[in-house]
Amino acid sequence: MQRLAILGSTGSIGRQTLDVVRAFPDRFEATTLTAASNWELLVRQAAEFRPDSVVIARRELYGRVAEALEGLDVKVYAGEEAIEQVVRGEAVDTVVNALVGYAGLAPTLSAVEAGRKLALANKESLVVAGELVMRRAMERGAPIIPVDSEHSAIFQSLVGERSPIEKLILTASGGPFLRASAEDMARATIDDALRHPRWSMGARITVDSATMLNKGFEVIEARWLFGVEARRIEVVVHPQSIVHSLVEFADSALKAQLGTPDMHLPIQYALTFPDRLPIAGEKFSFVDHPSLTFERPDLERFPLLEVAYDVLARGGNAACILNAAGETAVEAFLAGRISFPRITEVITEVLARATFIPNPTVDDYRQSNSEAKNIAGQLSGFTSAF
Ligand code: NAD
Ligand code: MG
């Protein structure tokens, strides 16, 4: 029995993780569930899965959760710090970090410090502080298994290999604006940006896919997860999202993992590795989909992809600034405060203005995150509700 702490259980990845638990009740047990504000769903999940504990991050909702779970043997905690605490709990084998944004970093560090196995969906942990997270994981012997589909594909392709990686090729669907003109993108509404052609995901990552900042984040994520220099990481647009990413070796061999896009697979694999268990659903058929295409990304319409490479070259807290600026700019866009192209402008401006720190500590990351969010907030006339 593998006991899971599922951080962000009410989100897109969190709910799909609970599907996996539901499918294999004799293998997985959800011992901790956490949510930011969707307390009703958290309560329903707790009633179904009977975890040891739940955490509601928004403190003001504590009373409602506690009242609704009265009579069930479930401990209720509130606040973001409580998430850091529960992942260290004795009753946890694996932490599934499905939080979105900077908020995922502290629980990632906490899980790694405690030596827990970490199934990591929260790519922002690695974008903000990848070097630190990987170093601590190595020191503590804590395995980190990627949930992001591209990184899971690479991870799967590396099983059994001991030769160095020559190149990583990350595939990108190109998002909803792959074929849109710059003028179309300037007029894009919130709904347009949220209409992803291949994946149904949380709002932030969906908008990040529309700017392709998400792919930039994934380059940074891959750099740290697999210890591969940025110059060896390439992005290729593959609109069908069947080839989930590739590894090239010295002998020119390419290995990839393919399949119908469905996050249940990378989530489940992160939990069962090195084993595989069945998943219901559509199997991919080459003859039904004979056309798999690949093209270079258009950096003129998607400049944030290149910004991610610049940020890696700068090092220090630059990627932390990028993430924070992106978090606030996307929030401002989703609140109707700024236009779609303004997201890119705000991010670029914050990167130019925020304090650069060459060798940041955890505290520096915290301050840098706040500073960059403040600047982004000023630039977009927006203050985060959180
Ligand atoms: P989501 O918005 O659907 O869910 C986020 C979860 O985190 C929710 O349960 C929410 O309550 C919780 N949360 C948000 N802010 C919080 C805070 N400040 N404190 C505590 N809890 C908080 O997001 P998602 O799409 O499930 O994505 C989760 C992570 O997985 C992201 O890092 C995303 O980039 C990554 N990811 C998602 C997908 C996908 O298909 N959804 C694919 C690849 C990677
Ligand atoms: Mg991905």
Beta strand 243-249 with 165-172 is antiparallel
For helices 123-140 and 318-334, what crossing angle results, to 10°? 140
Amino acid at 233: I
Ligand nearest to the CA of 205: 1
Both tokens of residue 255? 């290995």
* Ligand 1 atom nearest residue 101's Cα: 32
Give the residue-averaged pLDDT of 349-365: 98
Q: Which has the minimum average pLDDT: 5-19, 120-134, 196-210, 346-360? A: 196-210
Whether the per-residue pLDDT at 264 is higher than 90: the answer is: yes
Q: Determine what percent of the chain is predicted with pLDDT higher than 90.
A: 97
pLDDT at 163 over 70: yes
CA 202 – ligand 1 centroid, Å: 6
Q: Of ligand 1's atoms, which has the minimum distance to the CA of residue 36?
A: 11
CB of residue 68 inside a 6 A radius of ligand 1? no
Q: At what angle do helices 203-211 and 318-334 cross, to 10 degrees?
A: 110
Helix (H) or strand (E) holding 234: strand 233-237
Residue 262, ligand 1, Cβ within 6 A? no
pLDDT digit string, tens, across residues 112-127: 999 999 999 999 999 9
**pLDDT category of residue 188 using cuts at 50, 70 and 90:** very high
User: Closest residue (by CA) to atom 20 of ligand 1?
Assistant: 36
Burial of 369 (0-12, 13-18, 19+ CB in 10 A): buried
Please state, rounded to an integer, the average pLDDT across all residues of the chain: 97
Ligand 1 atom at minimum distance from 10 CA: 9
Overall average pLDDT of the 304-316 stretch: 98
- Please choose from 42, 99, 196, 264 the residue to mutate so as to test ligand 1's pocket, defined by most ligand atoms within 8 A of CB: 99
The bound ligand whose nearest atom lies closest to the alpha carbon of 100 is: 1
Residue 281's pLDDT band (cuts 50, 70, 90): confident
> DSSP class of residue 169?
E
Pocket test for ligand 1, best of 19, 125, 201 (most atoms within 8 A of CB): 201
Residue 122 CB less than 6 A away from ligand 1: yes
pLDDT for residue 386? 58
Write down the pLDDT at residue 383.
Answer: 81
Q: How far is the CA of 217 from the centre of ligand 2 (A)?
A: 9
Q: Return the ligand 1 atom nearest residue 14 CA.
A: 26
Q: What is the mean pLDDT of residues 7-26?
A: 98
Q: What percent of the chain has pLDDT over 70?
A: 99
Say if residue 382's pLDDT is above 90.
no
DSSP secondary structure letter of residue 8: T
Mutation test of ligand 1: which of 12, 54, 96 has the most ligand atoms closer than 8 Å to its C-beta?
12
Considering only CA atoms, which of 47, 44, 54, 100 is closest in space to residue 72? 47
Query: Average of pLDDT values for 373-378?
Result: 98
**Which of ligand 1's atoms lies nearest the C-alpha of 214?**
34
Ligand minimally distant from the alpha carbon of residue 202: 1
Pocket of ligand 1 contains residue 57 by CB under 6 Å: yes
Which residues lie at CB < 5 A from ion ligand 2? 148-150
Q: Which amino acid, one-letter code, is at 4?
A: L
CA of 363 to the centre of ligand 1 (A): 23
The pLDDT tens digits of the residues spanning 192-244 come to 999 988 888 999 999 999 999 999 999 999 999 999 999 999 999 999 999 99
Closest atom, ligand 1, to C-alpha of 38? 11
Number of H helices, E strands in the chain: 16, 11
Task: Supply 172's token pair.
Answer: 């990108």
Contact 331 CB / ligand 1 (< 6 Å)? no
**Ligand 1 neighbourhood includes 174 CB (under 6 angstroms):** no
Give me the mean pLDDT over the 141-149 stretch: 98
276 token code pair: 């595989």
User: 149 C-alpha to center of ligand 2: Å?
Assistant: 5
Q: Is 12 in the pocket of ligand 1 (CB under 6 A)?
A: yes
Distance 148 CA to ligand 2 centre (A): 5
Q: How far is CA 365 from CA 58, 230, 316, 330, in A?
A: 22, 22, 10, 20
The rounded distance, in Å, linking the Cα atoms of 110 and 310 is: 29
- CA gap 292, 256 in Å, rounded: 14
Is the pLDDT confidence value at 184 over 70? Answer: yes
Q: Which domains does the chain show, CATH number per domain?
A: 2-146 (3.40.50.720), 148-262+282-300 (no CATH), 315-386 (1.10.1740.10)
